[in-house]
């Protein structure tokens, strides 16, 4: 809709410029007659009124978009608060297991700050003996929309010992409906 209004504004501006240019040329080259000047002024008045109406429509759309963006921002903050405040470590990865979101407890469990955890494959935290099983489970997750539960051993950054965790995962569609997002809830055993 904004594109249509912008196109309308551009057209009105072009008409106004053309008529003004024609008016100036005629004034500079000949003695304009009163009827022609009246007609040109009337056309300019109409163009100005159309510009005013279009400007008001854009102002209304801008206010509506601001309201929508405000609501989206509130929803995003609310989601973030719920996700970060979840009582269990929670992650969101893509289909390859690359971390895109992690709450505070997941970061603590894996021993990394959020900025260092984002973009890392979850596989780097799986205990070496459990990696083949973890990869097979990741493939299985992509084939079902059911919640899967399994146990793995994780090796948090800087830890010498493995931590046994129970994991619940569920896949969902991401923002563009084609991308796969996997939600992970981890519970230490």
Same domain assignment for residues 112 and 40: no
Residue 166 shares a structural domain with residue 144: yes
pLDDT digits (tens, 9 = 90+) for 43-100: 778 877 887 888 888 888 888 888 999 999 999 899 888 888 889 999 999 888 999 9
The 10s digit of each residue's pLDDT in 126-176 is: 999 999 998 888 888 877 778 888 999 999 888 888 899 999 998 887 566
Domain check: are 179 and 108 in the same one? yes
Task: Report whether pLDDT(35) > 70.
Answer: yes
Q: Among residues 82, 100, 126, which one ends one of the domains?
A: 82
DSSP letter for 146, please. S
- The pTM (predicted TM-score) of the whole model is 0.65
Which residue range(s) make up the domain with 9?
Answer: 2-82
Flag whether pLDDT at 39 surpasses 80: no
pLDDT of res. 174: 59
pLDDT given at position 4: 72
Measure the CA–CA gap between 111 and 119, rounded to whole angstroms.
15
Which residues fall within 8 angstroms of residue 84, CB to CB, at 6 or more apart?
Answer: 103, 104
């Amino acid at each position: 809709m904004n594109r249509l209004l912008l196109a309308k504004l551009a057209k009105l501006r072009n008409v106004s410029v053309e008529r003004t240019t024609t008016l100036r040329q005629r004034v500079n080259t000949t003695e304009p007659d009163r009827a022609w000047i009246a007609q040109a002024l009337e056309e300019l008045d109409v163009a100005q009124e159309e510009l005013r109406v279009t400007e008001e429509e854009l102002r209304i759309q801008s206010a509506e978009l601001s309201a929508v963006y405000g609501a989206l921002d509130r929803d995003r903050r609310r989601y973030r608060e719920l996700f970060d405040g979840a009582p269990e470590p929670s992650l969101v990865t893509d289909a390859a297991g690359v971390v895109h979101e992690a709450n505070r407890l997941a970061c603590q469990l894996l021993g990394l700050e959020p900025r260092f955890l984002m973009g890392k494959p979850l596989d780097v935290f799986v205990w070496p003996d459990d990696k083949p099983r973890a990869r097979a489970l990741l493939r299985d997750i992509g084939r079902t929309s059911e919640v899967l539960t399994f146990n793995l051993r994780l090796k948090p950054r800087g830890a010498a010992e493995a931590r046994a965790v129970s994991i619940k995962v569920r896949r969902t569609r991401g923002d563009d409906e084609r991308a796969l997002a996997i939600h992970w809830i981890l519970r230490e055993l």
